[in-house]
Amino acid sequence: MRRDGRGRPAGAERAGRAGEAGLGATAAIGVPDGTDPEIPRGQRAEDRSGAGHIGRNTVNESAQRLPEIVLTGPIFGPGTELLREVGSVRQLHQPTDAEIDAAVRGADAAVVRIHRLTGDTIRAAEHLKVIGRFGVGIDNIDLEVATDRGIPVVYTPGANAQAVAEHALALTLAMLKRLVFWHHGLLAGNWEARWTEHSDDVVGKTMCVVGLGNVGRHLAHLAAGVKMRVVGHAPLLTARAAKQFGVELMGLNEALAAADIVSLHAPLTPETRGLIDARRLQLLKPGAYLVNTARGGLLDLDAVYNALYRGHLAGVALDVYPTEPPDLTHPLFRHPNFIGTPHCAHHTQTTMDNMGLIVAREVATVLRGERPLFVANPEVFEPAG
């Protein structure tokens, strides 16, 4: 890729932030009315300079070596083979932070999953031309340092939306229907519990969706399909746009107070960290349910446990945690009305294959000296002033 004197890729016009519904402050919680999350604002698909022409073998034609591409974890489906067409692929297996740092230092491209890519690692990687995120959230990558170095960070907005939304609904239904309780009761021979215990109805409940990006909108559609009322919070979304998704838009506190179920789908930013704390939990109706399939840092785990222990929350279901893997000695994990899954909401075969293909395509595009479509820091493509 040709770079200007400041190390930034040169010759590309400014593009809007791709897939805004799943990224940064925009995510927080929505997409501006009329924005197609699959195409950056101000750019038509046909205007994208060769980014879809992955088959052309134009990588470093004059270079002495193929670009080295480091994967910090497996990339599923045809993605790895696509990357092998443009470079030498090295996959790490359950690497430590030190092993990631050492591998990325000599790489031309790095594709990360859950592992962190720190500013120090990015600064030390002299040949690094592109960072790929196998996923949507980029809070595990130091975007500021990457941008300062002129390195595009590409990602896969929308690729996991349906799978995560389905998982959030499944957790909701499991709590309301007390599936884990009934399952363990049956295996324990407690057949008589059916005469004294009960579950809850779904139809007519109010679900509050916090964050109306790709996942939040998919969930709103699914919840409406089982005849829930859907309210939501999305500061950057208009009420008219939200209505198109079947959502009554409200302020956050108002939406929480109206909810029987709260499902979190906001990105983790400095503004959203600890969004659901003790004060906001008190706004919920007694007996409300809480679901989080977005980022663990959105809630205060101790406050959530206290609300569950006191009975203010009837159930909590989490797929993400403040630290991962989580500390299983925390009392929340022993509460009978807690359901947990290991950050696997997006782990369907179709979703994983699609994510692998998208991130590989975007990384290959940059290595060919072309402009990617899904880039978290489009400012690196600005001509030097």
Q: Name the residue among 64, 273, 291 with its Cα closest to residue 172.
A: 291
As a CATH number, domain 161-340 is 3.40.50.720
Q: Provide the percentage of residues in the chain whose pLDDT is more than 90.
A: 78
CA–CA distance, 357 with 238 (Å, rounded to integer): 33
120-133 pLDDT, tens per residue? 999 999 999 999 99
276-308 pLDDT, tens per residue? 999 999 999 999 999 999 999 999 999 999 999
Task: Return the CATH fold of 20-159+349-381.
Answer: Rossmann fold (3.40.50)
Catalytic residue numbers, as ranges:
295, 324, 343
Mean per-residue pLDDT of the chain: 86
Each domain of the chain, given as residue ranges in start order, spans: 20-159+349-381, 161-340
CA–CA distance, 122 with 146 (Å, rounded to integer): 7
Do the first three CATH levels of 20-159+349-381 and 161-340 match, i.e. the same topology? yes
CA–CA distance, 316 with 327 (Å, rounded to integer): 16
- 205 in Cβ contact with 175 (< 8 Å): no
342-377 pLDDT, tens per residue? 999 999 999 999 999 999 999 999 999 999 999 999
pTM over 0.95: no
Greater confidence (56 vs 383) lies with 383
Helix (H) or strand (E) holding 131: strand 130-133
235, pLDDT greater than 60: yes
